[in-house]
Amino acid sequence: MAHYNCIMIDLDNTLLDFDKAENQALEKTFAQFEFPDTPENRAVYKQLNSQLWQELEKGKIKRDALAVVRWKKFLAHLGRLGNAGKINEFYMNCLSQGCSPLPGALEFLEAVEDYATIAIITNGSEKVQKNRLAYSGVAAFVDGIFISERMGIHKPDKRFVNLALERLGVTNRQKVLVIGDSLTADIKCGVDAGLATCWCNFKGQENTLNLQPTYTVQGFEELKRVILTQEELENDGTEKAHKIKA
């Protein structure tokens, strides 16, 4: 029996390459609205966006407002007038097309799908994230998809994972693992909910926060060993067990 038979896993920069999707969407958006496409301007947008997401995680701004405010601030940086809502709509449509899995992500999901219930837990737009899940191939492996826009709650609020577990019908919380690349969103959400957590530190970042995940991994092979027993690892790709109900 797997060490964890329910995994709640983040999407962006955990399974899908969000950095690539964001850069492609910015390139198209800058071209469409004739923004100077320089490294400096891209850095300004990303900094503004990051700051607003941090405010969202702290409950200081609503998600719908965030999406428009970031472009209002960016227009102000450029000294330009424009319709921030229209810009955001175009950008989000472009972002929904960014569906590249991280190397090894689909292989990881295939390895664990017969041993664990797999739930996607992601902050963001329902339309954008569902498109990316479908076109990336990730959706084929999952048992539940939980998106903050639809849930009305966003990570790191522990109610996000608690409600997701309720909807999945999972009652054995000792066998649940929350997985993600963000300490402040994914890991804090899991810790606050009293669940085991795994930080996907794929970029080799330093943990400067007073927040300790149960596990830290550098790649999907390590992550697989956190979830599966040695026997299951040895049987990977040959003789898988039937999915165990959590």
Query: Which residues are marked as active site?
Result: 10
The whole-angstrom separation of Cα 160 and Cα 154 is 6
Q: Would you say 80 and 205 are in contact if contact means Cβ atoms under 8 Å apart?
A: no
Q: How far is CA 234 from CA 108, 219, 228, 238, 239, in A?
A: 14, 18, 10, 9, 9
Closest CA to 123 of 142, 149, 143: 149
Q: Would you say 35 and 206 are in contact if contact means Cβ atoms under 8 Å apart?
A: no
The whole-angstrom separation of Cα 86 and Cα 237 is 47
- What lies within 8 Å, CB to CB, of 166 at 6+ separation is none
First to last CA, the chain: 11
H or E element that contains 22: helix 18-32
Q: How many CB atoms lie within 10 A of CB 118?
A: 20
Across the strands, what pairs with 146? 121
Closest CA to 187 of 162, 214, 166, 227: 214
The whole-angstrom separation of Cα 13 and Cα 10 is 8
